[in-house]
Structure 1
Amino acid sequence: MSQEPLETELESKNPMEEIRLEKLILHISAGNDWERLQKAARLLNNLTNQKVAFRRAKSTIRTFGISRGDIISCMVTLRGLRAEEFLKKAFLAVDNKVRASSFDSRGNFAFGIKEHLDLPDTRYDPEIGTFGMDVIVSLERPGYRVKKRRFRRTNIGKKALIDPEESMSFVEERFGVEVVEAA
């Protein structure tokens, strides 16, 4: 009996090197217009069925009439299966294309959706209107918990970090998305 089929199975990737989706953040910024911000929060709640968190301005921007501490945006964090399902819908909204410049040095990426109506299975609600949103995706490997835990917290080794090329190949293989160079 030959051991070749067993060896090819063992040659598969190390499970600790497997990349996975940590979280997906949906973010809508509406400036300091409270009514518009409430509508954006209602939209995010309708899209995700999750509680919406509001974010404050970190600094004053006089030209936009924003003071430090003003509530200017809302966001929702999705994890697990909900995040994967929504990410598939979000990729359909941008025609399954993501720019290579959208990936950062740690392998995370972000892209924008011009109108929430581009998402599949969404309908126009005249009370809410239309909103664009940012989709921010964070990737991780098993073992990243050492960076976040309370006891014996430590840094992640350089070999364990996700580089942009690995992140791009993960997105292409897992979601069938084309990574394009900036035009």
Structure 2
Amino acid sequence: MASRLKEKYQKEVVPGLQKEFNYKNPMQVPAVNKVVINIGMGEAIQNAKAMDAAVSDLATITGQRPVITRAKRSVATFKLREGMQIGCMVTLRGDRMYQFLDKLMNVALPRLRDFQGVSADAFDGRGNYTLGLREQLVFPEIDYDK
């Protein structure tokens, strides 16, 4: 089951970019390979229950079980020890990636208050794009009452 975004990419974007940049092969057109979603939980140092909520929210949003990230080194000013749980992340590829991007662009981002569009400055030198969200409530799967 291909998502709407994947079909649009294959039917409209690839031929359009191929024509615009004179690519001979459709494989020369840039594509999205993976989406990495990360939640950093600074308050998980004092409150271990906060990490459980973040893991369940991320699993609900993405449909995939998150990996818990741990501190690589100790930082005394943050009372952080090496190996402590500090966040969670999910890597999406293939159809799940396209479904998540479709949901992000068509449902979640328009629900943001005072949304002015995404910044073109968020690209790094290697073609990666960074987008930060303060709250997960913009996704329809997350209940405010929970």
TM (normalized to structure 1)?
0.56
Name the structure 1 match of 2:99: 85
User: Which structure is higher in RCO with an 8 Å CA cutoff and minimum separation 6?
Assistant: 1
Larger radius of gyration: 1
Note closer, same or farther for the CA distance 1:101–1:58 as it changes in structure 2 (3 Å cut): farther
Higher percent of residues as helix: 2
Flag the 1:100–1:61 CA change in 2: closer, same or farther, 3 A: farther
Q: How many residues align?
A: 117
Residue of structure 1 in register with 2:32 after alignment: 21
Deviations 1:25-72 (A, max 9, x none): 111111323210111101111112212101111222223221122111
Please give the TM-score of this superposition, normalised by the length of structure 2.
0.69
Flag structure 2 segments of 5+ consecutive residues without an equivalent. Answer: 1-17, 111-115
Note the alpha carbon deviations across 1:152-174, whole angstroms, 9 max, x for none.
Answer: xxxxxxxxxxxxxxxxxxxxxxx
Q: Residue 84 of structure 2 aligns with which residue?
A: 70
What's 2:134 paired with? 114
State yes or no: 1:98 paired with 2:98.
no
Distance 1:91 1:60, change over 3 A: farther
Q: Deviations over 1:11-31 (max 9, x none)?
A: 653323111111111111113
What SS does the corresponding residue of 2:32 show, helix, strand or coil? strand
Q: Which of the two has greater strand per residue?
A: 1
| Alignment of structure 1 residues 159-178 onto 2, 5 Å | none
1:21 and 1:80 in contact (8 A); partners too: no
Instruction: Say which of 120, 124, 140 aligns to 2:143.
Output: 124
Looking at structure 1, the residues matched to 69 and 142 of structure 2 have their Cα atoms a distance apart, in angstroms, of 26
Is the 1:28–1:75 Cα contact (8 Å) retained in structure 2? yes
What is the deviation of 1:124?
1.5
- The answer to whether the Cα contact below 8 Å between 2:137 and 2:144 also exists between their aligned partners in 1 is no
1:108 Cα deviation from its structure 2 partner: 0.7
Letter in 2 for 1:20: A
Where 1:22 maps in the other structure, the secondary structure is: coil
